[in-house]
Amino acid sequence: MLKSAYRPPGEPGLWHDFLAQLERTLAQVEAHPATVEYLIHPRRTVALTVPVQLDDGTVHFFSGYRVVHNIALGPARGGVRFHPRVSMGQTVGLAAIATVQSAIFHLPYGGAAGGVAVDPRRLSKGELERLTRRYAAELVDVIGPDKDILGPDLGTGEREMAWMMDTFSTNRGFTEPGVVTGKPPQLGGVSKRGEAVGRGVLYAVETFAEFKDLRLEGSTVAVQGYGKIGRAVVRLFAEAGARVVAVSDEWGAVYNPEGLDHKTLLAHFKETGRVEGFSGAHTIGREALVGLEVDFLILAAVEGVLHEGNVEQVRAGVVVESAVGAITAEADEHLRQRGVPVIPDVLVGGGGLTMDYLEWVQNFSMFNWSDDRVWLAMQRRVSQTLREVCEYAEDQEIDLRLASYVLGVDRINVATHMQGVYP
């Protein structure tokens, strides 16, 4: 396996998986040695101590991170995650995957990622705002619309992006909406951006199904994860004619082979805060969902949910990796050996990435496009990219993840070689 001189403290996780995938890729594409070195050495890693005064007057220190992995194709761009499991190893891995994803989708971005190790549900609104603003203030000198663009991720959304934008703008003395994406529409964000990731999943699966002569309408779907993305996925797939038979969250899972009514399920979730107890289905173990015999298994929660310990249970026709790193490198290899198709995270997440790009472009031009124009542009970008990768994978007789990385790394290699190394 590739040996990176950079070794983040703690469990490497996503960074380890990225290096494993990069090694597979380099056996298929001729990359200049300098390109490889750039890819295995993050450009900038920042570890922060984020002090926050809590409502009771005490001060608590949180660990925060921001990583810029590569800027060969343009300024860095990546989400900010608020979650207890945030670490440097996870953040470096997320940034590296973002680098390759932007290249795959022909977008002028490098890769970045950031976050704070915190459970945002345990903070009051005031505490969360103070945490968010302090995190952004610590990064003022290294972020910006032409340097490093922040976006939403697990545990953050429009509200947090608005606070970060205001903090950056206040420190700079002028309004700068382009420093973040995923903002409220009133501040220059894209309308209904929250649906973008879910729609991106739908468009990716629709394109894959069309390419493979599969039918999405009438197919059976299980969705692992019922957060903002999972809820959108359930609704959109149901509206597209698929039969969503199972859904899980962090507490449990529900299953009905005849299909779940997504509207009443959502009402139950809003009332109780979990899917368990839904009267339109029976409860199953959370882990049991990955072993259901369905046409599409959609992983829409966090990384590492499909691993060596449970991958043998998978009986789905196609696994859709909506959450970044949801499938470990070992589990991915197992699925390849079994011939189970995987639509990887770098493809499935293209909807949210594309919407962030369209928002950023509008902020630069100071002109807002209609919702129809934005949605159509996003759908076209996702569908064209999926077809391109599917055609390349079929021609080369390789899996979609490897095909994606080969195309992405090749574009990064060309850009790196053309720019050279600054002396």
Predicted confidence at residue 9, as pLDDT, reads 56
257-291 pLDDT, tens digit per residue, is 999 999 999 999 999 999 999 999 999 988 899 99
pTM, rounded to two decimals: 0.94
| Percent of the chain surpassing pLDDT 90 | 89
Compute how many other C-beta atoms are within 10 angstroms of the C-beta atom of residue 126: 12
Architecture of domain 196-327: 3-Layer(aba) Sandwich (3.40)
Q: Return the pLDDT at 191.
A: 77
Q: How confident is the model at residue 371 (pLDDT cuts 50, 70, 90)?
A: confident
Quick one: pLDDT at residue 176? 96
Given a cut of 90, whether residue 10 has pLDDT beyond it is no
Q: Which of the two residues, 11 and 91, has the higher pLDDT score?
A: 91
Classify residue 102 by burial, with Cβ atoms within 10 Å: 0-12, 13-18, 19+.
buried
Give the per-residue SS3 of 71-91. CCCCCEEEEEEEECCCCHHHH
Establish whether domains 14-177 and 196-327 are of one fold. yes
Listed in order, strand segments (DSSP E) in 195-316 are 220-224, 243-248, 253-255, 282-284, 296-299
Sequence-ordered list of residues with C-beta below 8 angstroms from that of 143, at least 6 positions apart, any chain: 66, 136, 149, 150, 168, 179
Confidence at residue 64, expressed as pLDDT on a 0 to 100 scale:
98
Pick from 130, 104, 108, 112: nearest CA to 68: 112
Q: What CATH number labels 14-177?
A: 3.40.50.10860
Place 302 in a pLDDT band, splitting at 50, 70 and 90: confident
The mean pLDDT value for 320-336 works out to: 95
The residue ranges of every structural domain in the chain are 14-177, 196-327
